[in-house]
Structure formats: C-alpha cells, structure tokens
Amino acid sequence: MPVKLPFESVKISPDEKLQDKQDTIELIAQLEDLAKRHPKKGAVRKFTNLIADTNTPINSWKFNEWDYASKKVSLPTYARGLFTKGNEIICRGYNKFYNVNEFLEVSEDQLKKNTTGPYTLTVKSNGCIVFISGLEDGTLVVCSKHSTGVRDDIQKNHAMAAQRALESQLIGIGQGKERLASALYELKLTAVAEFCDDSFEEHVLEYKNDRAGLYLHGLNFNTPRFRTYPMKKVNEFGQMFGFKETKSRRFETFEELIKYLSNVANEGTFEGEEVEGFVVRCYRTENHEDFFFKYKFEEPYLLYRELREVTKQFIRGGPQNVHFGKHKLICMDYLKYIMPLMHDNQELREQYLDNQGIIELRKKYFVARGKTGLEVIDEEVSMAKLEDEMRLLSFGDSQICKYAVVTVATIGCGKTTTSLALANLFPNIIGHIQNDNIRRPVGNKLVAGALEILINRPIVILDKNDHKFIERKQIFDDFDQLNEVIPTSKLKFICLNFLRNRPQEDKDLWNITRERILERGDNHQTIKAAGKGITKAEKIIQGFIKRFQPVDPGREPDSKFDLIINLDVTSPDSSYANVKTVVDNLISFASDLNLTRPTEEQFQEAFKSALDYKPSVNKIVHSKGGPRAPAYFGIVIPNAEELQNKVVKLIHSTGLDWKTYETLKNTDRLLNDLHVTIIHYKSRKTNGESRALWNMYVKQVFFDDLTKIDENSPKIKGCSIPLPSSPTADIKLEKLCSNDKLVCIKVSVLGLYHADGREIHLTAGNKFPHVTLGTISSEIKSVESNNLLNDICEFHATNGIQCLDFEDSEENTLKGLPIFAYY
Ligand code: IDP
C-alpha cells in the first residue's frame, strides 16, 4: 500500500526514469566487470550477504578510499556506500565529499567559482553513517557504510545495532517498520542517517540518554547520478518516522556562508551546542547537480583525541610511556588531574581502554579547570612560548635523534607495504630493511644493517614479524651490542603495533591476512602461496598467529619502546590508513626532524607503488657485524689557489729549484680539492686507543654536527656532507715537504670546534696531519705523504728530500675551515 507523505516528492519525468534505469543496469555491469578483474585488490570489492531476516542476497560495492580523489583513476560511480540487488540500487550513499581546502578543487576560491547556492549548512553529527531503504514486500534494509545483515566474521556489527535502534525508534512512535520500508521503496530513496550512541560506541562528542539515536541527514535517490532531497524535506520525513533532527541553516551566497563559518569557528558551537563541523550542501554551477563539502573544526577535537591517546598510553604503560603531541602542556596538566582517579580504579582503567568513559573523564577535567576546551587551548599558547624559550636555553632535548622502528605483527598484516609506502614518502629520512631479504642465518644482520642505514638517515624500519617477546628482546639486545656510535640517549625505539588484541580470537585477521597472502601468490621471498603452496602458506600464517604475544608496555622488553603506535588490520585495505597513522605519529613524536605532512596525492602515490612492490629474491643485505661509519674525517681547504700561492711564494723566497713541484705543475697534477685528514676509519684497527678515538669522532663530530646539516645545502665534491654550518678547525702551515713522488704540507691542528662554536676536545687521529698537494702519477697514492713525513720527522731523513719551514705568522694560520666526513 503506497504511503501518503506529508510533502510533495521531488518529481521525475518518465524520460528521466527510463534513463536512470538504463544507467543503473550499465553501472552494475561495470561494477561486476571491475570486481572480476582483480577480486581482492582491484578498483572495487564486491561483498554479498543476506538482508537481515530474509533469504534475499544483497551486494555491497566498495572502492579503495584513495581512488575517489585520484586524478588517474575514473570510477564508475563516486557513491560512498552502494548496495544493489539484481539490477536495482537498494541503497546509495552521498558522493564522496571533502573538507574545504583539502584539495585544490575544494579550495575556497574554487568552491566560490564552481558552486551555486543556496548553501545549506547542516550540523555534522559524530557517529557512524547508516543507509536505510525498503523492499517491495515491506522489508526494511539497514546498512552501515559497506555491510548489512547478520555476520559472524566481525566483532561489532554497526548495521545490526543501527537496525535495532531504528526498530525501537519506530515502536516508540507507534509506527510499523513496514511503513518506513514501503515509503522508501515507493519513493526509490535511501534515508541516510548518523547512528550516535555512546552505549554502543563512543566517538568524540557525547551522545547519551536523550541525545543517543539516529540523526537523519539525507534522502538520496537510488540512481547512479547523485541526487538528494532538500534539507527541509529531509526534516519533514525525519519527523514523520521519529528520527532525530539534523539542524541546518540556509545561506543564499557563498560569501554569507564563509562569513558565518569564520565567525563560528572561534566558538566551535552551533546554537550553543558543541559540534565537530558542518556539511554544506549546494549545487555544481556547470550542471546544477547536488554537491557537498565539509567544514570541520580542528579544535578542540584535536585536543580531545590527544587527551584520549595519552590516557590510554598512561593506563597501558605508566608515565614513562606517555608521548605528547601538539597539546603537550594541557595533556600533562590533565594527566596530573586524572592520575589519582585512575590509581585505585581498575574498572575505570579497563573501561577506558574499551572506549567507555572517555568523554566523562574529559568533562570532569574541564569542569575542575572551570574552562571549556577552547579556553584551555587559548591559555596553552602563552605556556608554549615559555617552552620555546626554555628550549632555546637548551632545556629539553633539541638534538637530532635516531629512530629504530620495530614492527610487531603476523604475516600479511601489511608490514612491508606500510614500510615501503613510508620510505617512498620520506626517501631521505626513512630507510627500510626487510628480514626476508637477509641471507640465512640472519643472526644479528638485521640490526647491523639497520645501524648502517641510521648512519645516513634518522629513521629505519626493521621489517620483521617480531611476534614474540623473545624476538623483541633480541632486537634490543642486538642494538645494545652492536651500536658503537649513536649515543644511547639519542636512539629511540618506536613500535608499530599491528595487532592490539589477541589475534588468536580475531577471525577478521585470519580472513584478511590469509586472503592477502593467497592473492600475493609467489611474490614473496620465502612464502609461496600459489598453486599447491596454499596449505603450507596457511600453516605458516597460522603458526605465527598461534604463537603471537601481544605488545605489553608494562613489561620488558616492550617497556623499552619509547613510543607504541597502534595500528589496525581490520579491513583488507587497512595499510593505507596505517601509513597515515604512522606519519602523524612521527610528525609529533620525532619533532626534531620537522617532517611535513604529505598531501593526499603524495600518500596515494607512495601507497600505490608500495602495493606494486615485488621482491627480488637476490636482494641480499651484506652486513658484517658493526655499522659502517664514514671512511674518514677531514678538514677542507676551501681556497686551493690561495694555498698554492703561499707555496710558490715560499719556494721563490729560497731561490731553490723544487723539481717535483714543477713537474706536478707542468703535468697538471696539482690537486684542486685539498684537505687534511684528521682520522681514518682504518686507524681504529691499530689499537684500542685509536678505536676509542674514532668512536669519539663519530659521536661528537658526526652525530652532534654533521648529521644535522640540511641535505640541500651545497656539497663539496667527493664528500656527501655540505659546507655551511659544519663543525670547523683551525690549522697552521708548518713545513713544505717533497721527494721525487709527491709534495705535501705538514700542518698542525690548532683546534676543532662544533658548529655552535664549542670546542671539540679531541686530538687528531693522524700522527702527521698534512695536505697533499699532488703526486706525480696515479699509481702513487696521497697516503704516501704519511711515509714521507714519518721519514722526515722520525728519522730525520734528507736523502732526495726537500723541506722548507713556513714562517710562524698569522698569514699561515688558517681558521674556521669546515670539517667533513668522506665515504
Ligand atoms: P607483511 O609484510 O606483513 O607480510 P605485506 O607483504 O605488506 O604483509 O602484505 C601482504 C599482501 O597484501 C601484499 O601482496 C600486499 O600488496 C597486500 N596488501 C597489504 N596491505 C594492503 C592494503 O591495504 N590494501 C590492499 N592490499 C594490501
């Protein structure tokens, strides 16, 4: 029986109806085709389930999140959430929409140019989206973004929870669910609502008691093209079926809208209530199609999320394990407040970790402070200045650190994909070493290789399952044993915790990782899952899951992690979100590196090429024991010509013939790049003292100064280290010496200095520091200058040797020469 509605439905002409029908058939055919091409990993994934309480199958179509924004990919529809049955669309979500300024296309300028009013601003509710629709026989269909009906493979069923909430809502107002279903069926509409209920799942804003329920915010036509009802009609419909109202306000022009938004941004409220942001509905100018964009408030929600995370870290690992983000000072103050509350209340702690009571605790704190979230943030600005001042006075750690990132996971969790994407995003900063690429027996080669990478990059990811305590302990032990050069206080350990819970009980994990590995087939160094390899591969995956010991920050070795980043493997394409989570955490935790957040497009590109990765079996890391440091440290003589002039002047002043020097000049073998070697890597082999001296150079010269130099500064030829802001040395020219093979100048090193001017109290590792001016042939290496100087200084040899002292003068003292490392 058709339902009489209190409003005129939006009219569609018979021609349009016919067109919609054809378009739908075409769209579904395209989707089927796309899904077949790459069933697991392709552009679209099809998931079939039964509509609740029926035997009717329904298909859900899910695209990769990053494809919506991709310029290279063209999707058959931009609906986020789409359910079909046969050749019919049952539920259709909105076209994917973005935050103002998230992309160029949604910058204020572009929006102003390409959209037309009226602009309807609607309050963005903070829960999970649900789609509601009806079948001909009066069956109600309730879907979450990509799922509907009963499932035994997920822990929380959002669709079913929303269905129960909807049913009790309808009972509450004396309406049969068939009436709603028939209305939606007749009108060929999907009702789009936000399910907000803290007793089911807490988000950032509070929804309990009266506020909990389904907030209707849209009525979409079940057609391929995106068409949606005006807000006024949505609210009328919502009222009829007992939905909660989505508040809205209408603006005729873009200017009026923006003016309103910038005013309201200071308070973060709408009609006195805290809101997370708004969704703005308007039209595309070119074709008058419906068009949406979002406007989200950054604060106080960022603060709220940080408060939640520090509390969880505190509960899990105590104060040492808490890592702060942007709102460090407020978070500290807040922790001080909640510590006594948490101390004796295990129930509170457990509930908090289960996402219950988060909002309550936060509210208590703000009440105690007598301020709102935004007011406290305002205060923090003045506190932050104080912190900056303290940092300038060398309070806190302003040194560049090294970060060893350790993955904890089972097979197929996306370790390699995530690591590769991260290394693609920050090629000069993040290095990646894969356990699977190391020749057996692995021993400590993984850590040795990681230390090697850390010489040149601040971050290394050690890509290995590390699924047991003993494996994590081994990593820490290997670092302790092999690390000779990075000061312990500057070596930080970060855990990428792919699995928070006991994976043995996590069916999703088994399904997702198993599917991934089957899909990967033989594209792995050791696990071959193609053809008959499946059973063996399954056994291997299962073995890892069975043995898995979750990260426990409360005990060793996991308590040694400076930061634990929690990731999720709850959907087949989880790695993309994981990459973003890691980046956001690195930006705030490794603040000394000043990482810039990549754009959405950069994320997508990096991720795509990570997915395309195919290992080469022969890619073996050769690492023998300890890390490789630079080959030597040297002092640059920036102006070779000036030094040559001094030499010529000295020679002339004696009136003697300097045959070797003349030969070098005539054969063009006078060197243009001159340096003094201070200490050579090989010298560490001579004795314990030299080894200790070398290590001190690496620590003090290399890590304290040279690794901090901006990669983009100009570089000296042959050296990988750029000049400006390097540490420096003062030297004195002492003796010009030559034999029939080479000419060199013996120098003395007067002092070594850090880039900030502090003196480096180290002696030169070279017995006779010198500048080699040239050798008569390529066969004769510069290192032979050492032999000549040894002969002269130790044995007072004179045979075939010429020597001349430089005058002890200011002119022959060269100050502020850059120190460099040579590889
Ligand atoms: P692992 O290093 O933890 O064993 P990976 O090799 O990174 O796991 O991933 C296993 C397979 O799953 C690979 O073929 C990879 O391309 C795929 N994969 C991982 N993460 C995603 C994702 O988010 N979307 C689609 N495929 C993924």
* Centroid of ligand 1 to alpha carbon of 611 (angstroms): 7
Q: Is residue 414 in contact with ligand 1, taking CB distance under 6 Å? A: yes
- Token pair 């690992």 in the structure block, residue: 317
Domain assignment present for residue 419? The answer is yes
In this structure, the answer to whether residues 484 and 345 fall within a common structural domain is no
In this structure, the answer to whether residues 494 and 564 fall within a common structural domain is yes
In this structure, the answer to whether residues 677 and 582 fall within a common structural domain is no
In this structure, the answer to whether residues 499 and 447 fall within a common structural domain is yes
* Centroid of ligand 1 to alpha carbon of 467 (angstroms): 17
In this structure, the answer to whether residues 291 and 325 fall within a common structural domain is no
Domain assignment present for residue 397? The answer is no
User: What is the percent of the chain where pLDDT is above 90?
Assistant: 45
Instruction: Give per-residue pLDDT as tens, 484-535.
Output: 777 777 889 999 999 987 788 888 888 899 888 888 766 666 666 666 566 7
- The amino acid that residue 466 corresponds to is D
Q: Is residue 411 in contact with ligand 1, taking CB distance under 6 Å? A: yes
* Contact status, residue 485 vs residue 627, Cβ threshold 8 Å: yes
Residue nearest to atom 11 of ligand 1 (CA): 516
Query: What CATH number corresponds to the domain at position 645?
Result: 3.90.1740
Q: Which of 17, 72, 112, 124 is catalytic?
A: 124
Residue nearest to atom 6 of ligand 1 (CA): 416
Domain assignment present for residue 626? The answer is no
Query: What CATH number corresponds to the domain at position 19?
Result: 3.30.470.30
pLDDT at residue 42, as a whole number: 58
What does DSSP say about strands 770-775 and 742-753: parallel, antiparallel, or unpaired?
antiparallel
Domain assignment present for residue 620? The answer is no
Nearest to 412 by CA among 535, 539, 514, 522: 514
In this structure, the answer to whether residues 347 and 336 fall within a common structural domain is yes
* Centroid of ligand 1 to alpha carbon of 520 (angstroms): 8
Q: Is residue 574 in contact with ligand 1, taking CB distance under 6 Å? A: yes
Domain assignment present for residue 730? The answer is yes
Domain assignment present for residue 622? The answer is no
In this structure, the answer to whether residues 379 and 483 fall within a common structural domain is no
> Quick check: helix, strand or coil at residue 442?
coil
Quote the domain boundaries for residue 189.
Answer: 14-106+126-245
> Quick check: helix, strand or coil at residue 129?
strand
Q: Is residue 580 in contact with ligand 1, taking CB distance under 6 Å? A: no
User: What is the DSSP annotation of 513-548?
Assistant: HHHHHHHHTT-SSS---STTHHHHHHHHHHHHHHH-
| Mean pLDDT score, 618-629 | 36
CA distance 367 to 361: 10
In this structure, the answer to whether residues 607 and 487 fall within a common structural domain is yes
| Mean pLDDT score, 384-403 | 51
Instruction: Give per-residue pLDDT as tens, 214-265.
Output: 999 999 999 999 999 999 999 999 999 999 999 999 999 999 999 998 888 7
Q: Is residue 499 in contact with ligand 1, taking CB distance under 6 Å? A: no
In this structure, the answer to whether residues 279 and 237 fall within a common structural domain is no
Measured from the Cα of 578, ligand 1's closest atom is: 23
CA distance 5 to 237: 8
Residue nearest to atom 9 of ligand 1 (CA): 414
What tokens does 812 get? 């022959």
Domain assignment present for residue 8? The answer is no
pLDDT at residue 263, as a whole number: 84
User: What is the percent of the chain where pLDDT is above 70?
Assistant: 88
Burial grade of 302 (CB within 10 A; 0-12, 13-18, 19 or more): middle
CA distance 259 to 475: 56
Measured from the Cα of 420, ligand 1's closest atom is: 7
Measured from the Cα of 613, ligand 1's closest atom is: 16
Q: Is residue 464 in contact with ligand 1, taking CB distance under 6 Å? A: no
Going by C-beta distance under 8 Å and a sequence separation of 6 or more, which residues neighbour residue 141? 51, 52, 58, 83, 90, 91, 131, 132, 133, 134, 135, 148, 181
Identify whether 124 is a catalytic site residue.
yes
Instruction: Give per-residue pLDDT as tens, 184-211.
Output: 999 999 999 999 999 888 888 889 889 9
In this structure, the answer to whether residues 526 and 572 fall within a common structural domain is yes
- The amino acid that residue 169 corresponds to is Q
Number of domains observed in the structure of the chain: 5
CA distance 642 to 638: 9
Q: Is residue 415 in contact with ligand 1, taking CB distance under 6 Å? A: yes
Q: Which of 296, 328, 362 is the last residue of a domain?
A: 296
Residue nearest to atom 19 of ligand 1 (CA): 414
Domain assignment present for residue 282? The answer is yes
Query: What CATH number corresponds to the domain at position 482?
Result: 3.40.50.300
In this structure, the answer to whether residues 547 and 653 fall within a common structural domain is no
Instruction: Give per-residue pLDDT as tens, 347-388.
Output: 999 888 888 889 999 999 999 988 888 888 888 766 655 455
* Centroid of ligand 1 to alpha carbon of 192 (angstroms): 33
Measured from the Cα of 41, ligand 1's closest atom is: 25
What tokens does 766 get? 């070279």
40 has pLDDT over 80: no
CA distance 541 to 538: 5
Q: What angle do CA 588, 592, 594 make, to 5 degrees?
A: 70
| Mutation test residue for ligand 1: of 435, 611, 612, the one with most atoms within 8 Å of CB | 611
In this structure, the answer to whether residues 276 and 339 fall within a common structural domain is no
What tokens does 439 get? 């020749």
